[in-house]
Amino acid sequence: MNEPEPYTHAWWMQKPPEPLADMVRRFQERGHLQTPAVQKVLRKKLPPLEVAEEIDRDVAALWKRVQR
């Protein structure tokens, strides 16, 4: 199968989704570099790290059950 060109829509669609907890950690590390408006939106939209890790565990368990 041919690999799609990097950073095209097809390339992004082939990549597995990034765990939510990783996104939350990245925001916690670099969030202060964002504009105040972006910080406000991210604080409002992203769950706390503990909740994100729980969601990732639940999604992984569900995915394993679906794969069987």
Q: How far apart are CA 42 and CA 37, in angstroms?
A: 9
For 35-57, letters b (16+ CB in 10 Å) and e give: eeeeeeeeeeebeeeeebbeeee
> Within a domain: residue 5?
no
Domain that holds residue 51: 18-67
Tens digit of each residue's pLDDT (9 = 90 or more) over 24-65: 999 999 989 999 999 999 999 999 999 999 999 999 999 889
pLDDT of residue 48: 96
Measure CA of the first residue to CA of the last residue in the chain; give whole Å. Answer: 25
| Model pTM score | 0.71
Is residue 3 included in any domain, yes or no? Answer: no
- Whether 62 is in a domain gets the answer yes
49 belongs to a structural domain = yes
How many separate domains does the chain show?
A: 1
Alpha-carbon distance of 46 to 61, in angstroms, equals 21
Q: Provide the 3-class DSSP secondary structure of residue 26.
A: helix
Considering the domain boundaries, does residue 10 fall inside one? no
